[in-house]
């Protein structure tokens, strides 16, 4: 039996699933701050080219009845969004000029 | 020299002669004594937004709202008669805070038929009436009817819940909001119920953060990275083509970055994540196909300057509530709750139509993430502004024409404090 977390069409993203399939923004933000820009770049390089495919794949399911692997894939896309600005813009895990500011997202839709 | 975007031969500041054009003091943001006056003059006299009707979805639902600025906590609830009421969150028996979360310093929410005090078990109905007293016969000349929860004036406008802590507000909520803010009436807020809510404890006076989000003069500098490197330019003109003031409230409308809405920007002029998901700072590129969100169906007061293209209207509702409505079919709110003269708790919520597909949800996530990152830059700078002001090296500062909103806020707060010292109850109109 396969232990894959993601749908098989996304097998090349599987090495990143254990670290980046994270259901809440608060935990994704924490993971980003605990990661190096090199780690995020590797994940980004694997995941970015598959974002449109992932959106098309997920749209075949009802958002509120996603099977486990599809739910993981959705969370992986959320993490891609979380690392995109560090990789594309800031070139560091934190936002440039954000000082000591911290915004806590305490309410969000699920999934 | 005229800047692109600025109406010819116009001065927004000059239209409001009361504001003057002189230097401005921010003593109102660094003085503990002024803060004590502001608590009474502003926060105990103005109507304050404490949430949305969607937070009270059914009869018997409630939430608490702690207001350190007024040294109180409120219970806001929907009664069995469907009426929304607010009460001070204090038991009539021995003064215990009635409802709390993890600790008495944490807010809570839920659903019930009666509120019970954890201390001696006194119970109150959703209408505030005292329903049960443990061993009532032991009290002296006692009538439960004399000990309801202390009620607070509470009104609902377009689904926004407002309270007023005055014994008798000198204006009704609708009088207070006035015609400019009421121009939002009819916007389909009730359809935008997918909410992303954030909270932050920030190291500045509440007005200093309001100031940061009520002028866009800072945007090309502090947020230079919102543009790809090839497009960064520190001379980006007069960024707000429409300002409006009405009483204590302000409105700014914009036509988009350099007048071009983000969804019309060429791919090489944006970041890859925006391009691949078709969403960004300004929202998802596709407006949801909801008839009520069609621009033709929107209230005229949403874009009273008639901007074309129009992208955002930023309603600054005195004293501490902001609604930004985006042309792409979503809105966000900010609330600034003072906790001392030099600190405040800030809240931000994004509201979208409920996602029908994963793609829609992903686009909302992009907007919520990108927008938060820009906000972190604004918030990160506040600490420095507060420190600089508190050095008191300088006591008067210049403001340019596109900072007219900053000038207006500090003037209005000063007016409210002066009128409180002079007359007490009546607020300036």
The C-alpha torsion from B123 through B125 and B130 to B132, rounded to 10°, is -40
- Give yes or no for A100 touching B (CB within 8 A): yes
Nearest CB neighbour to A98, from listed B357, B362, B377: B377
Q: What is the mean pLDDT of chain A?
A: 96
Q: In what order do the strands lie in the sheet with B151-157?
A: B48-52, B160-164, B151-157, B84-88, B72-78, B61-67, B109-111
Dihedral sign, Cα of residue B208, residue B213, residue B217, residue B220: positive
Smallest CA–CA distance, residue A101 to chain B, in Å, is 5
pLDDT in tens, B124-142: 999 999 999 999 999 999 9
Output B387-390 pairs: Cβ under 8 A, ≥24 positions apart: B389/B26, B389/B29, B389/B30, B389/B208, B390/B30, B390/B342
- Give yes or no for B107 touching A (CB within 8 A): no
Residues in chain B with CB shorter than 8 Å from the CB of A97 are: 222, 377, 380-381
What is d(CA B7, CA B11) in angstroms, rounded to the nearest whole number?
A: 8
Category of A103 on φ-ψ map: left (φ > 0), alpha (ψ -120 to 50) or beta: beta
pLDDT over 60 at B106, yes or no: yes
Q: Are A31 and A18 in contact (CB under 8 A)?
A: no
Q: What is the mean pLDDT of chain B?
A: 92
Category of B240 on φ-ψ map: left (φ > 0), alpha (ψ -120 to 50) or beta: beta
Query: What residue in B sits closest to A28 (Cα-Cα)?
Result: B369
Smallest CA–CA distance, residue A52 to chain B, in Å, is 7
pLDDT over 60 at B182, yes or no: yes
pLDDT over 70 at B239, yes or no: no
| Cα-based distances in Å from B89 to B46, B104, B106, B299, B301 | 20, 11, 13, 37, 37
| Residue pairs between chains A and B whose CB atoms are closer than 8 Å | 126
pLDDT in tens, B285-333: 888 999 999 988 999 999 999 988 888 999 999 999 999 999 999 999 9
Q: Can you read off the two tokens belonging to residue B150?
A: 């202390």
Smallest CA–CA distance, residue B392 to chain A, in Å, is 22
Q: Which of B79, B159, B66, B155 is nearest to B111 (CA)?
A: B79
Residues in chain A with CB shorter than 8 Å from the CB of B354 are: 109
Contact A74 B194 (CB under 8 A): no
- Distance, CA of A94 to chain centre: 16
Contact A104 B203 (CB under 8 A): no
Residues in chain B with CB shorter than 8 Å from the CB of A63 are: 355-358, 361
What is d(CA B127, CA B83) in angstroms, rounded to the nearest whole number?
A: 9
Confidence band for B236, pLDDT divided at 50, 70 and 90: low
Those of residues 37-96 in A touching chain B at CB distance below 8 A are 48, 51-52, 55, 58-59, 61, 63, 66, 74, 77-78, 80-82, 84-85, 88-90, 95-96
Name the range with the highest mean pLDDT among B140-154, B211-225, B230-244.
B140-154
Q: Can you read off the two tokens belonging to residue B115?
A: 């509120």
Reported ipTM: 0.98
User: Which of A92-106, B83-97, B316-330 has the least mean pLDDT?
Assistant: A92-106
Choose from B106, B273, B275, B375 for mutation: most chain A CBs within 10 A: B273
Residues in chain A with CB shorter than 8 Å from the CB of B372 are: 103, 105
pLDDT in tens, B351-394: 999 999 999 999 999 999 999 998 898 888 899 999 999 999 99
**Comparing A58 with B270, which gets the higher pLDDT?**
A58
pLDDT over 50 at B1, yes or no: no
Nearest CB neighbour to A63, from listed B202, B358, B376: B358
Residues in chain B with CB shorter than 8 Å from the CB of A111 are: 361
Percent of chain A surpassing pLDDT 90 = 91
* pLDDT at residue B127, as a whole number: 98
Percent of chain A surpassing pLDDT 70 = 98
Neighbours of B230 (CB within 10 A): 8
What is d(CA B94, CA B320) in angstroms, rounded to the nearest whole number?
A: 32
- Give yes or no for B93 touching A (CB within 8 A): no
On the question of a cis peptide bond just before residue A37, with omega within 30 degrees of 0, the verdict is: no
What are phi and psi for residue B29, nearest 5 degrees?
-115, 0
Nearest CB neighbour to B358, from listed A48, A55, A100: A55
Residues in chain B with CB shorter than 8 Å from the CB of A107 are: 195-197, 349
Instruction: Give, for B110, the enclosing helix (H) or strand (E).
Output: strand B109-111
Smallest CA–CA distance, residue A92 to chain B, in Å, is 13
- End-to-end alpha-carbon separation of chain A, Å? 27
Q: Are A106 and A55 in contact (CB under 8 A)?
A: no
What are the extents of the domains in chain B? 13-44+180-423, 48-168
pLDDT in tens, A4-13: 999 999 999 9
DSSP-assigned letter for residue B6 = S
pLDDT in tens, B262-288: 667 787 778 899 999 999 888 998 889
* pLDDT at residue B256, as a whole number: 61
| Cα-based distances in Å from A45 to A39, A71, A80, B241 | 10, 21, 10, 40
Nearest CB neighbour to A89, from listed B271, B376, B384: B271
3-state secondary structure of A86: helix
Q: To which residue do tokens 């003085």 refer? A: B31
* pLDDT at residue B429, as a whole number: 78
Helix, strand, coil percentages (3-state) for chain A, rounded to 5, are: 65, 5, 35
DSSP-assigned letter for residue B191 = G
| Cα-based distances in Å from B291 to B51, B54, B143, B188, B191 | 26, 21, 55, 10, 11
pLDDT over 50 at B204, yes or no: yes
What is d(CA B72, CA B240) in angstroms, rounded to the nearest whole number?
A: 38
pLDDT over 90 at B174, yes or no: yes
* pLDDT at residue B351, as a whole number: 98
3-state secondary structure of B338: strand
Those of residues 382-421 in B touching chain A at CB distance below 8 A are 382-384
Cβ contacts of residue B329 below 8 Å, gap of 6+?
Answer: B192, B283, B284, B287, B288, B290, B293, B352, B353
Class of domain B13-44+180-423: alpha beta
Read out DSSP for B261-326? -GGGS-GGGS-HHHHHHTEETTEESSPP--GGGSGGGS-GGGSTT--SS--EEEEEETTTEEEEEE
Query: What residue in A sits closest to B281 (Cα-Cα)?
Result: A85
Percent of chain B surpassing pLDDT 70 = 94
Contact B277 A66 (CB under 8 A): no
pLDDT over 60 at B2, yes or no: no
* CB-side neighbour CA atoms (13 Å) of B176: 21
Class of domain B48-168: mainly beta
Nearest CB neighbour to A95, from listed B277, B366, B373: B373
DSSP-assigned letter for residue A94 = S
Nearest CB neighbour to A77, from listed B225, B271, B362: B362
Query: What residue in A sits closest to B372 (Cα-Cα)?
Result: A103
Contact B273 A84 (CB under 8 A): yes
């Amino acid at each position: 039996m396969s232990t894959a977390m993601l749908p098989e069409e996304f097998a090349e993203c599987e090495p990143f699933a254990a670290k980046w399939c994270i259901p809440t923004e608060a935990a994704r933000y924490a993971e980003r701050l605990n990661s190096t820009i090199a780690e995020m770049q590797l994940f980004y390089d694997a995941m970015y080219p598959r974002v449109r495919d992932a959106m098309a794949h997920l749209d075949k399911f009802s958002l509120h009845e996603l099977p486990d692997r599809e739910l993981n894939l959705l969370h992986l896309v959320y993490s891609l969004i979380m690392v995109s600005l560090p990789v594309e813009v800031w070139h560091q895990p934190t936002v440039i000029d954000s000082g000591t500011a911290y915004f806590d997202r305490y309410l969000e839709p699920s999934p | 020299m005229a800047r692109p975007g600025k109406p010819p031969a116009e001065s927004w500041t000059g239209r409001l002669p009361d504001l003057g054009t002189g230097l401005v003091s921010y003593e109102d943001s660094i003085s503990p004594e002024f803060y004590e006056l502001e608590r009474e003059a502003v926060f105990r006299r103005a109507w304050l937004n404490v949430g949305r009707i969607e937070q009270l979805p059914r009869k018997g639902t409630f939430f608490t709202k702690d207001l350190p600025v007024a040294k109180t906590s409120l219970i806001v609830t929907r009664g069995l008669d469907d009426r929304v009421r607010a009460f001070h969150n204090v038991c009539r028996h021995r003064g215990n805070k009635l409802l709390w979360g993890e600790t008495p310093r944490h807010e809570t929410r839920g659903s019930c038929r009666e509120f019970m005090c954890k201390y001696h078990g006194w119970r109150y109905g959703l209408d505030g009436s005292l329903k049960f007293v443990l061993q009532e016969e032991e009290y002296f000349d006692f009538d439960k009817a004399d000990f309801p929860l202390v009620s607070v004036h509470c009104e609902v406008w377009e689904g926004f819940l407002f309270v007023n802590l005055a014994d008798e507000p000198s204006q009704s909520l609708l009088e207070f909001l006035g015609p400019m803010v009421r121009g939002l009436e009819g916007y389909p807020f009730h359809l935008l119920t997918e909410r992303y809510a954030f909270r932050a404890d920030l190291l500045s006076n509440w007005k200093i953060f309001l100031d940061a989000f009520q002028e866009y003069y800072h945007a090309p500098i502090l947020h230079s990275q919102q543009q790809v490197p090839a497009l960064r330019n520190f001379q980006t003109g007069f960024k707000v083509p429409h300002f409006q003031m009405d009483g204590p409230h302000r409105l700014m409308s914009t036509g988009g970055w350099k007048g071009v809405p983000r969804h019309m920007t060429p791919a090489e002029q944006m970041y890859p994540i925006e391009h691949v998901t078709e969403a960004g700072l300004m929202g998802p590129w596709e407006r949801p196909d909801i008839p009520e969100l069609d621009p033709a169906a929107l209230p005229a007061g949403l874009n009273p300057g008639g901007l074309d293209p129009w992208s955002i209207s930023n309603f600054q509702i005195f004293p501490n509530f902001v609604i930004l409505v985006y042309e792409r079919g979503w809105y966000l709110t900010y609330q600034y709750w003072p906790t001392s003269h030099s600190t405040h708790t800030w809240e931000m919520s994004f509201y979208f139509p409920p996602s029908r597909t994963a793609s829609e949800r992903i686009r909302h996530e992009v907007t919520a993430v990108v927008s938060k990152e820009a906000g972190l830059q604004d918030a990160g700078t506040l600490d420095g502004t507060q420190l600089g002001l508190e050095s008191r090296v300088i006591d008067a500062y210049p403001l340019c024409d596109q900072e007219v909103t900053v000038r207006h806020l500090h003037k209005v707060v000063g007016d409210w404090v002066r009128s409180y010292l002079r007359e007490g109850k009546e607020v300036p109109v």
